Every structure is written in C-alpha cells, then in structure tokens.
Amino acid sequence: MRVPNHIAIILDGNGRWAKKRGMPRSFGHVKGCENLEDICEVAKELGVKYLTVYAFSTENWKRSKEEVDGLMKLFRNYLKKCIKISQKNNMRVKVIGDITAFDSDIQESIEKLEDFSKDFTDLHFQIALNYGSRDEMVRAMRHMADDLSSGNLSKDEITEEVFNGYLDTKELPDPDLMIRTSGEERLSNFMLWQLAYTEFYFTDVLWPDFNKKELIKAIEYYNGRDRRFGGI
C-alpha cells in the first residue's frame, strides 16, 4: 500500500457524536482529543511522515462561551500532555495559525511543546489552532508588504515559491490526502493554498469513531486515484 507522505484531517463531528449519546458537546471534544492521540500513533505506524489536523478555526470563536471555554481548558490539558506523547512517538509538534489570540499561558505551552519536540523526526504533527486559510494568506501578504517596503523583496521576485515561504506551512510539503469526517463535504477555510492538488476523502464517520480501519480505507481510496496534474 502506497502511504501518503502528508495527510491533512478536518476533525469534524465531536458535538454530534456526544449528542447521539445524550452527552454535552464538551464530552465529544474530550473523546475527539483522545482519538487524536490514537491516530497519531497509527499514522506513525503506517509510515505517514506529516500529519496536519484542523482543531480550532478562526470562526470557532463564534461558538457559545461555554463551549469555547471548554475547548480552551481542553487545549491547556492536551498541550501539556502532548509533551509525553511527542516523546513517546518521536514526534515533532508545530502549531499553525495565529496563536496571539490565546491567553498567555496557552501561548507559553505551545512554545514549550514546539521547543521540546523540535528535534524529533518520526512524525511531523501540525495542529491548526485559531487557523483560517484566508487569515493565513492575509498575514502572509502583510509580511510580504513589509519586506517590499524595506527593500528586502522586489515585486519581480514574487513567485509561488516565494509566497509559499510566508505561510504558516512554509516548512512542510503540501498534503497528498485530505480527510474530512462526519459527512460534511467542504473545506471550511482550511489550507486553501496548500490543497490545490490534494486528493479529498469524505466519510460519514464521526471523528471520535475514526480509527485505524477507517484511516486505512482513506489511504486505499488514495491509492485508487490516478494522480495526474494539469487537468489532462
């Protein structure tokens, strides 16, 4: 089986999973977080080198205060726990998105985790937090404008590769496969630039139920695709 080098996943369905069981949405988020630990291990086991997950979007701030507060508490716990997870899996962890919107203790936990895991090599794990692709590109353009103004960049030097170097994902290869759980079939402002030539796989399985068997099904689907570029 040909395993994608880079898999991106939109983690969807935690709330619905909890509702089906008569539980609050927060319970679904906890279970979804636990499942993420398992999928990281499975991805490493299968030989995936890069795994990027959409955990909290720029639009998610619009959810109820109770749900957002619960997610912040979950992030605090997970980021600390992820130090041990990264060591166990020899996994480098990087957060993409604008982390300045988070409280200072969350920002410090992110920086500590990234520094602790920076030399691990078996799996490169990216967590998208306060991430939106349009926001990412606007931030990239602001940085590029600064470089144009200072003379560090000329307009004739701007290429796709140069623009890519201003994105949060500048050190990463583009995803080969994008998976979205829960039956929704849209990108929801996730990696719009990076997914230009990516294969998409949509499944009705809710994220807390997405397991090794389901990941293999997605990879098998990927293997069945004829990867041609240029629209011919």
| pLDDT tens-place string over residues 181-224 | 999 999 999 999 999 999 999 999 999 999 999 999 999 999 99
C-alpha to C-alpha distance for 45 and 15, rounded to whole angstroms? 28
Rounded to 5°, angle at Cα 146 from 144 and 151: 95
Neighbours of 195 (CB within 10 A): 17
pLDDT band at residue 225 under the 50/70/90 scheme: confident
pLDDT band at residue 1 under the 50/70/90 scheme: confident
Token digits of residue 167: 């994105």
Is the model's pLDDT at 120 over the cut of 80? yes
Residue whose pair of structure tokens reads 């990516």 in the numeric block: 198
Query: Across residues 147-173, what is the average pLDDT?
Result: 97
Laid out side by side, the sheet with 50-57 consists of 91-96, 123-131, 50-57, 6-10, 177-180, 199-202
pLDDT band at residue 93 under the 50/70/90 scheme: very high
Neighbours of 65 (CB within 10 A): 8
- So which residues are the catalytic ones? 12, 60
Q: Under 8 Å CB-to-CB from 63, ≥6 apart: which residues?
A: none
Share of the chain above pLDDT 70, in %: 97
Whether 113 and 129 have beta carbons less than 8 Å apart is answered as: no
User: pLDDT tens digit string along 56-74?
Assistant: 999 999 999 999 999 999 9
Rounded to 5°, angle at Cα 80 from 78 and 83: 105
Whole-angstrom Cα Rg for the chain: 18
- pTM equals 0.94
Q: What is the pLDDT of residue 229?
A: 53
- C-beta contacts of 219-228 below 8 A and 24+ residues apart: 219/1, 219/2, 219/3, 219/4, 219/46, 219/177, 220/1, 222/2, 222/4, 222/176, 222/177, 223/1, 223/2, 225/199, 227/199
Q: What is the pLDDT of residue 227?
A: 64
